[in-house]
Structure 1
Amino acid sequence: MTGSTLPTLPTRPPIVSRRQSFAPGFIAVTPRTSHLVVIKLSRSWIDCRIADRHLQHETCFGSVAILPSGADCSALVDRGTAQTVTLSIDDTAFASFVDRDSGQCEPRDVLRGHDMHLAELALSLARVAPRDFISRDKLAHDAMTHITTRYTRPVTGHSRGLLAPSALQAVRDFIFANVAGELSIAQLAAIAQLSPYHFSRAFTRTTGVSPHRYIMQARADQAAASIRVGQQSLAEVAYAHGFTDQSHMCRWIQRRYNATPTSLRGATAIG
């Protein structure tokens, strides 16, 4: 690939740019599977938070906040209407981009910055015609390059490959203690002190299965143990162990044990 050739971008754009307007009031922001780059276009007073860090400040055109995927964030517009343009960056696309061009790194969380060039790129992306793929891909590439150059930090330690044993044990303990409830990648990544996409990679390399598959296998194991006891209906077992319904549980038990829930219960009765 020559230096002037742009990489082939997926049909789903890796960056989506949209303009938004916020009246005074509270805004809850918790990016799940995307990194958010919020660029202010107007003057307003904002009280913003990332985790336990707070900052109250006056924004102007080009003020920048960066919210990595999975971050616990919120903002309060105190005075004035906040005009913004927000870049939503798919975390998988971001990881692929930085691994190719910069080595393993992740976005820094930024409460307050100023970047006129990024503001112009974001506005241009927001204005581009929906089917102007050439302009969209060029602007997306330029924005991604700018962000990875100025707003990333290297990933160190076990996040380059495997989870540290203590982190893996903490994640496993949390999964088994909460297997029947809602479990998210963001929760598990926070326990391991990694970004969600680097956690997913490290977990898969360490255990040989994805976090989602590991959770579902844990649910199947606990459900199978309950089925063998035989005191609940299959529907009750499914509900008690975090499956959406009985058929969902049956599919995972079949996949895990190559057996149906009924045969597990029947085998116990015969024995």
Structure 2
Amino acid sequence: MPTVRPDLLSIIPQAAGPRLVTTRGGAIHSVRPPGSQVIAAADHYAAVMLAPASRIRASLGSDRKHQYNAPLGAIAIRPAQVDGWAEWGSTKETLIFALRPQSLTELAASELDLAHVDLQPPAFGTVDLKALRIAELLKMELTQQERPSELYVDSLLTLFGMHVLRNYSAVVKQPMRLKGGLSAASARRIQEYLHENFARKITVAELAAIADLSPYYFIRAFTKKFGQPPHQYVLFVRLSVAERLLVEGNLTIAQVAYFAGFSSQSHLTATMRKYRQRTPAEIRAKN
């Protein structure tokens, strides 16, 4: 399984905004004052505008500079090993995606039966509404008070990677391979695995491997089978375990949070209040 590389997003200043790195890649909700950026990295990067910006100057793979206005939803893609540069004269809000080349190649192989990925960036200022929807979901996840779900971010990065392959690469006209849904046996294996491993970090790739499906198709098949995406299923398992431990009363609330897979007592409290409309202390007091 690919390792998580924290430096994947280090080319963007920490002050730009909250971020998260998974085995698939990484994402940043970035708000930056007027300035400029040179990007020369071994990973694929894409930026989706979360607010309009005017008079942006940019270049990609050459010294030729383009000036353009970027409306809401405008997407810019910089393939790995291709130098990029941008300059902006007003505050710019974007969702920045980072995808490891190996990760995108694996996705192309599993979904499209292709061994090579050749990205074809769109013209500057191109609006992509589907990429915008994924970017807005990531913004919500990264900027919430609770700690973001790595499984959810990993799922969104997988969906975005597939979107890029379909729309901004040489494989765009390749038909997708038809596959069956999530069988009863596979669903049972996945359930057992999640109930045994809910407290640790879980990736889309490992769940897909158990079901013998590709990552992108697994997300869709799982959601159809269980009526909710994988990250939400895991969250509800954690909440159910926490409720049981609270009722039993043998552990402190902080210990319950740890054993149920939450990062802290405050994380458990905020999540339980959001989804159960009660705090851990209230659940314990009523039993």
> What's the TM-score once normalised by structure 2's chain length?
0.49
Q: Trace 1:186-197 onto structure 2 (pairs within 5 A).
A: 186-197=205-216
Of residues 156, 176, 180 in structure 1, which corresponds to 2:179? 156
Query: Counterparts of 1:16-95 in structure 2 under 5 Å?
Result: 16-19=78-81, 36=101, 66-68=105-107
Partner of 2:218: 199
Identity over aligned pairs, percent? 25
Cα distance in 2 for partners of 1:142, 1:263 equals: 49
2:90 matched residue in structure 1 = none
Partner AA of 2:112 in structure 1: P
Offset, 1:168:
1.1
Q: Would the alpha carbon gap of residues 142 and 202 (structure 1) be closer, same or farther in structure 2, given more than 3 Å must change?
A: closer
Written as runs of structure 1 = structure 2, the 5 A alignment for 1:130-169 is 132-133=124-125, 144=168, 146-150=170-174, 153-158=176-181, 163-169=182-188
Residues 241 and 149 of structure 1: CA distance in aligned 2, closer, same or farther (over 3 Å): same
Q: Is the contact made by 2:165 and 2:172 (CA closer than 8 Å) also made in structure 1?
A: no
SS in 2 for 1:149: coil
Give the letter aligned to residue 133 of structure 1.
G
Equivalent AA in structure 2 for residue 174 of structure 1: Y
Distance 2:180 2:235 in 1: 28
Q: Hey, what's the Cα distance between the residues in 1 that align with 2:268 and 2:166?
A: 46
1:243-254 maps to which residues of 2 (within 5 A)?
Answer: 243-254=262-273
Which structure shows the bigger proportion of residues in strand conformation?
Answer: 1
The one-letter code sitting in structure 2 at the alignment partner of 1:19 is Q
150, 172, 177: which one aligns with 2:196 = 177
The amino acid of 2:124's aligned partner reads D
Contact 1:35 1:68 in 2 (8 A): no
Residues of 2 paired with 1:265 and 1:167: CA distance? Answer: 36
Q: Distance between the aligned counterparts of 1:157 and 1:191, measured in 2?
A: 15
Instruction: Summarize deviations over 1:115-137 as a string: whole Å, max 9, x none.
Output: 9xx5xx75xx4xx9xx8335x9x
Q: Which 5+ residue runs of structure 2 have no aligned equivalent? A: 1-70, 83-96, 129-163
Superposition RMSD in Å: 3.9
Deviation readout 1:10-53 (Å, 9 max, x if unpaired): 4344x541317xxxxxxxxxxx9958489xxxxxxxxxxxxxxx
> How many matched pairs?
169
Corresponding residue of 2:113? 108
Q: Structure 1 counterpart of 2:173, which letter?
A: T
> Among 216, 232, 242, which residue is 2:261 paired with?
242
In structure 1, the gaps of 5 or more residues are 1-7, 21-31, 39-64, 72-105
Aligned mates of 2:180, 2:204 — CA distance in 1:
20
1:34–1:68 contact (8 Å) kept in structure 2: no
